[in-house]
Copies of this chain bind each other. A is one copy, B any other.
Amino acid sequence: MSLPDVLARIDHDLDAATDRLLDLLRIPSISTDPAFKEDCDRAADWLVEDLNSIGIKTTKRPNPGHPMVVGHVDGPADKPHILFYGHYDVQPVDPLNLWHRDPFDPAVEDTAKGRVIRGRGAADDKGQLMTFVEALRAWKAVKGDFPCRMTFFFEGEEESGSPSLVPFMEENADELRADYAMICDTGMFQSKVPSIVTMLRGLMGEEVTITGPDLDLHSGMYGGVSMNPARVLSKVIASLHDDTGRITVPGFYDGVPELPDDIQAQWQGLAFDHDSFLGDVGLSKPAGEQDRMPIEMIWSRPTCEVNGMWSGYTGAGFKTVLPSQAHAKISFRLVGTQDPHVIRDSFRKMVTDMMPEDCEATFHAHGSSQGSVFETTAPAFEDARKALTDEWNVPAAYVGCGGSIPIAGHFQKILDTTPVLIGFGKDDDAIHSPNEKYDLESFHKGIRSWARILDAMT
């Protein structure tokens, strides 16, 4: 029995595989919101049961946050030990009114661009995670066994900063260590080119609260004489970038490398179509640092973004309140050797120094991770690149990624395991947004891709 038989089995089993994914998507495993704690647990149970049903010995591993799912399969010592990582938790769904269907009542929909699996988590990351599982299910069904020693490692806190991940990895390093960690949580370059990500941005999140008066005041009685924290917060946010788009936090650019000439040439060769990248979401002009290629802005330059802000009365109608507090969630994407802890301290000092009399800034730290760059010298990379090229009939590329997948750096540093980031997401998947979807093609050819990659590597 050979690879074509496995691929044929995958094709034959696609409807059933899709139904299994829809079943998993029905579980609202929103990790950041404590109201969905039990649902996260249910999603972990679902995976444990499914992996065991294929013959992968899998258990749910409790920890202070949402549980880990860990499974193992033995294999010969002369073949690589491959770990598969994914996450079963999903982003919140608001604003709910912009969804055209219940985000947790997923379905396959026909669209002008082809068939898609619609629902929260379809692309990020349940659909991607299941590409591994379905590839192995088909492999086992056709060949009666698995191709090599394998570990499955799925977490449920990726969308809320993975607070339990590092302690769990450190405590279970011997059990989790492998030759390669296949991470399926990324996309295809320009939605067409199968891609292996070799550069990731880090992330540092801060929540700042500015307090002025002790209580909400009547703007008629106190307006004009009292400090308004919403105005103070606006000043802070407005000052975080200068007129050229550079971030003004002192020391922010320490450790930000210039792009090496060879990578610059390679990226220029990709002919990134930023017109359609921006045009797809209603934008026309790159808004970042002046004199940078758009692809640099996304892959290799650090950023500072407001992810949320709120103050005062935000309901229907009007309320002439002078708010006591103003809040913002602000995140920084980091590259090179930028140190998230140093930047966090510098940001806090900058904001604190801006406070006028009668205003106080307090801070709440969200997660942080450094940026990463991965060497591609291990043989698995060329094996995978060739397998992807064969499946998609497009030469696969080494690319950067603007998102933050801290786990990749953890595999490298804590487990001495080489991360290999391959995913099948597309730019219009609307991950983290209303109406998230995963192309049926991504799911189908994603499963086939893993079968080819495993065949090439073993």
B358 A283 Cβ-Cβ under 8 A: yes
Interface flag for A238 (CB, 8 Å): yes
Residue of B nearest to A299 (CB): B224
B207, B225, B331, B358: which contacts A294 (Cβ < 8 A)?
Answer: B225
B298 A318 Cβ-Cβ under 8 A: no
Which of A107-115, A171-179, A304-312 binds B? A304-312
Contacts of A160 in B (CB 8 A): 317-318
Which of A45-53, A274-282, A341-349 binds B? A274-282
- Residues of A in contact (CB 8 Å), total 101
Copies, count: 2
B298 A224 Cβ-Cβ under 8 A: yes
B357 A215 Cβ-Cβ under 8 A: no
B298 A221 Cβ-Cβ under 8 A: yes
B159, B201, B212, B314: which contacts A327 (Cβ < 8 A)?
Answer: B314
Within 8 A of B (CB), among A196-245: 201, 203, 205, 207, 212-228, 230-231, 233-241
Interface centre among A223, A286, A328 (most CB of B within 10 A): A223
Interface flag for A26 (CB, 8 Å): no
Interface flag for A87 (CB, 8 Å): no
Residue of B nearest to A124 (CB): B218
Contacts of A322 in B (CB 8 A): 305, 307
Which of A67-75, A134-142, A424-432 binds B? A424-432
Contacts of A403 in B (CB 8 A): 218, 220-221
Contacts of A282 in B (CB 8 A): 213-215, 358
What are 27 A-B contacts defined by CB distance under 8 Å? A92-B313, A213-B282, A215-B433, A216-B434, A217-B281, A218-B433, A219-B333, A220-B333, A222-B402, A223-B402, A224-B303, A225-B278, A225-B298, A228-B287, A230-B237, A230-B306, A231-B305, A231-B306, A238-B239, A287-B356, A305-B320, A307-B313, A308-B319, A309-B310, A309-B312, A309-B314, A317-B366
**Which residues of A come within 8 Å of B, CB atoms?**
32-34, 91-92, 94-95, 98, 159-161, 187, 201, 203, 205, 207, 212-228, 230-231, 233-241, 274, 278, 281-289, 294, 297-298, 301-303, 305-323, 326-329, 331, 333, 356-358, 366-367, 401-404, 427, 430-434
